[in-house]
Amino acid sequence: MATCGEVLVKLLEGYGVDHVFGIPGVHTVELYRGLARSSIRHITPRHEQGAGFMADGYARTRVKPGVCFIITGPGMTNITTAMGQAYADSIPMLVISSVQSRNALGGGRGKLHELPAQSNLVAGVTAFSHTLMSADDLPAVLARAFAVFEGARPRPVHIEIPLDVLVEDADHLLDCAPIHIERAGAAPAAAAKMAALLASARRPLILAGGGAIDASAALTRLADYLQAPVALTINAKGMLPAKHPLLIGSTQSLVATRALVCEADVVLAIGTELAETDYDITFKGGFEIPGTLLRIDIDPDQTVRNYPPKVAMVADAELATQAVLQALAELPAPVRAADWGVARATRLREVLAGEWDPAMQAQTLFLNTILDTLPNAVLVGDSTQPVYTGNLTLDLDHPRRWFNASTGYGTLGYALPAAMGAWLGSAAEPGKRLPAVCLIGDGGLQFTLPELASAVEAQVPLIVLLWNNQGYEEIKKYMVNRAIEPVGVDIHTPDFVGVAKALGCAAEAVQGVEQLREALRQASDRQGPTLIEIDQNQWTKAVNA
């Protein structure tokens, strides 16, 4: 007899799942009965939040949903923060949990790990949460989950399985085949309207977000044809190569870039929320789109939020971009303003280059040193100063190589487990194994520090770059600027190098560019994780000497 838990694992294999993140518990052991005999690799974090962050990072590099097996009750409350981050960034994550037996659901009898309504708890951070009341419904609910991941705005899905359903006989489900769907194509009428407006524009501009990340080639062709400057959100970095003459970076919150956006007579926004953390990191408002706005998004609701468009299209970003290009080919060649396109984008970049202060220049040098030494690295960031700087000053040549928790939900501690997941995701694809670099501050690292042990156990060659400023410096500055006496921001700083070594990592502190280069080279040759500590003050002093 194959139980529901065993069949679940078999069905996940059919959907191409090759990793599962979770911590076994008495309520999930029936999931592991099938897992032990499968081709799926299990990764054990030290906290369920770490499981969620690992699944998030895995999904971004593997381009498949990250899957978690989570215990009833505290496991679900622990992972909810990670689900919130994935929800905000539209990351596919499948969280499969246990729950009380059907006859005890909502009973309030003091059962182990009992919650009044576990599914309701996570409803706000999922595309949907489903309680599986019969093993017979398993193939259908998995098909629903993967339909969200493949065809809609990808966000976490939660499936909870009662303890008595987990052990149901499900032999008859073993032969169920996975169901895959195609994303929505572009409506010809909407593509024609957008093409007509873009063709007649003298100063077109493109705003592209993480929802368009797989449309990189088509978007680049569209920008070149229109001679439209392109601004990318943080999650879209790399969609245009770093040196592309039309790229204006991810600087939408800065005065000079906002002025350029206001000059545009037609703006195409594709796969972007046009939301605060990408367009207003100063949190002072003021981002405006006075020109004609066109929006393309896979989520109908999102096409009309924040900034209402003149024309909207619900479609896959790549298919929509290709459709607009085809429609443009049937129209007369556009005529642009003489000072637009490459000339205007070049002028903006020159202005911005003069605005980076010494601290930002030192942090940009830090980031460029990483990329010069490890040009194929995936940089996974936390909420920390070099990441804030890199969001503005750093451009990359490929997408899915820069993502962080300083936007969207904005949780601390994300970068360490997410970078571990990112390496596992890239390594799972033959010939793609990329170095994974975690960029994290001393405050954020203390949220998920035990996950270093997970990386040691899984033999993940993670490189943790710890930017140490002995506290929550950005929050301290924010308090001072608002005339609030700083409280709770000057925290104890442990011996991170000593702690990392105790957990089984290689670890050292470095100063200056050459020491960092050598430490990165050595770290990239190891089989396990390395922590490299950079003291903010010492780094700034060394590079400015």
How far is it, in rounded angstroms, from Cα 239 to Cα 233?
10
Enumerate residues 6+ apart whose C-beta is below 8 A from 306: 273, 274, 275
Residue 505 has pLDDT above 90, yes or no: yes
Residue 284 has pLDDT above 80, yes or no: no
Percent of the chain with pLDDT over 70: 99
Cα dist from 367 to 173, 244, 326, 361, 439, whole Å: 50, 20, 39, 10, 9
CATH number of 4-173: 3.40.50.970
Q: Which tokens belong to 380?
A: 């996974």
Q: What is the pLDDT of residues 45-70, one digit of tens each?
A: 999 999 999 999 999 999 999 999 99
Is residue 542 very low, low, confident or very high in pLDDT (cuts 50, 70, 90)?
confident
How far is it, in rounded angstroms, from Cα 301 to Cα 6?
38
Which of the two residues, 34 and 280, has the higher pLDDT score?
A: 34
Q: What is the pLDDT of residues 385-415, one digit of tens each?
A: 999 999 999 999 999 999 999 988 989 999 9
How far is it, in rounded angstroms, from Cα 183 to Cα 396?
27
- Mean of the pLDDT values across residues 207-217? 97
Q: What is the pTM of this model?
A: 0.95
**Which DSSP string do the residues of 13-41 spell out, in sequence order?**
HHTT--EEEE---TTTHHHHHHHTTSSPE
Say if CB 348 and CB 260 are below 8 A apart.
Answer: yes
Is residue 507 very low, low, confident or very high in pLDDT (cuts 50, 70, 90)?
very high
Query: Nearest 5 degrees, angle CA 302-CA 308-CA 309?
Result: 95
Which range among 96-110, 218-232, 451-465, 529-543 shows the weakest confidence by mean pLDDT? 96-110
Cα dist from 508 to 54, 98, 505, 526, 529, whole Å: 24, 41, 10, 14, 12
Task: Tell me what pLDDT residue 282 has.
Answer: 67
DSSP tag of 123: G
Amino acid 502 reads A
Q: What is the pLDDT of residues 144-187, one digit of tens each?
A: 999 999 999 999 999 999 999 999 999 999 999 999 999 999 99
Say if CB 340 and CB 323 are below 8 A apart.
Answer: no
Cα dist from 136 to 70, 159, 391, whole Å: 21, 14, 47
Nearest-CA neighbor of 51 among 63, 67, 72?
67
Q: What is the pLDDT of residues 433-487, one digit of tens each?
A: 899 999 999 999 999 999 999 999 999 999 999 999 988 888 888 889 889 999 9
Rounded to a whole number of angstroms, the CA Rg of the chain reads 24
Enclosing H/E stretch for 535: strand 530-535
Q: What is the pLDDT of residues 303-343, one digit of tens each?
A: 999 999 999 999 999 999 999 999 999 999 889 999 999 99
**Which sequence spans correspond to the domains of the chain?**
4-173, 188-349, 358-544
- Rounded to the nearest integer, the mean pLDDT of the chain is 94
Nearest-CA neighbor of 538 among 501, 512, 517?
512
Q: What is the pLDDT of residues 350-382, one digit of tens each?
A: 999 999 999 999 999 999 999 999 999 999 999
Nearest-CA neighbor of 34 among 77, 5, 67, 70?
5
Say if CB 458 and CB 525 are below 8 A apart.
Answer: no
Say if CB 55 and CB 29 are below 8 A apart.
Answer: no
Say if CB 363 and CB 389 are below 8 A apart.
Answer: yes
Which range among 207-221, 424-438, 500-514 shows the weakest confidence by mean pLDDT? 424-438
CATH number of 358-544: 3.40.50.970
Cα dist from 519 to 458, 511, 516, 529, 532, whole Å: 22, 10, 5, 12, 7
**CATH domain 188-349 topology:** Rossmann fold (3.40.50)
In angstroms, the first-to-last Cα distance of the chain is: 71
